[in-house]
Chains A and B, each alone.
Chain A
Amino acid sequence: KQEVTQIPAALSVPEGENLVLNCSFTDSAIYNLQWFRQDPGKGLTSLLLIQSSQREQTSGRLNASLDKSSGRSTLYIAASQPGDSATYLCAVQGAQKLVFGQGTRLTINP
């Protein structure tokens, strides 16, 4: 059974810092890995999707990497802003089923 773990559970940093969120998974037989953002009282917004054959994806200040063999992914956020404050969820996809981590609650302090 696939298990996804995210570390840390919560992170608070001052504005402008670069930061890394971590995700690990137990079964490397995945189709893709996705990073989502969730704002309070809202649904999930897909940030980046990395196919199993890819090593990384970039979108603006976000960069996600995937090391399938070691079962790890990182989400790098450059030059953090208060608007980046949210919960970030990692999910791995086997066939059509997404398995989510518990998320990292990120707070960027002005």
Chain B
Amino acid sequence: DAGVIQSPRHEVTEMGQEVTLRCKPISGHDYLFWYRQTMMRGLELLIYFNNNVPIDDSGMPEDRFSAKMPNASFSTLKIQPSEPRDSAVYFCASTLGSAEQPQHFGDGTRLSIL
């Protein structure tokens, strides 16, 4: 079975550029989550969707960050303009239904903003 697929695996770009991270959840899963992991703050939830609808974006750090889920099999996290402090590993996860099910994580995108 294909797991959660994220692309790109690595992204290096200069400050001020637009960055788009992509995620394909596991087929049939109705919840999708975006997390950010840094040494200082650990893993933090940025936003999550249920049935393609954003439910809670309280973890999105600022207006430079936006996320969309145009259909059940695709989501993007966009940073515009990017800043060096955005450097982190960004994870996407998906799950089916209730809180009884574990979340399945992708391998992440390692983002470096120079």
Question: A: which residues have CB within 8 A of B?
Answer: 31-32, 34, 36, 41-46, 49, 51, 89, 91, 93, 95-103
Smallest CB-CB A-B distances: 5 pairs? A43-B105, A46-B102, A31-B99, A100-B43, A44-B105
Q: Offer 28 A-B interface pairs, CB within 8 angstroms, sorted by A.
A: A32-B99, A32-B100, A34-B103, A36-B105, A41-B107, A43-B4, A43-B105, A43-B106, A44-B93, A44-B105, A45-B105, A46-B103, A49-B100, A49-B101, A51-B100, A89-B43, A93-B99, A95-B99, A96-B48, A96-B55, A96-B56, A96-B99, A97-B45, A97-B56, A98-B33, A99-B45, A100-B42, A100-B44
Q: Shortest beta-carbon distance, A49 to chain B, in Å?
A: 5
A interface majority secondary structure: strand
Contact present for A101 and B42 (CB under 8 Å): yes
- Residue in chain B with minimal CB distance to A42: B107
B: which residues have CB within 8 A of A? 4, 31, 33, 42-45, 48, 50, 55-56, 91, 93, 99-108, 110
Instruction: Check A43 against B99 for contact (C-beta < 8 Å).
Output: no
| Interfacial chain B residues near A103, Cβ < 8 Å | 42
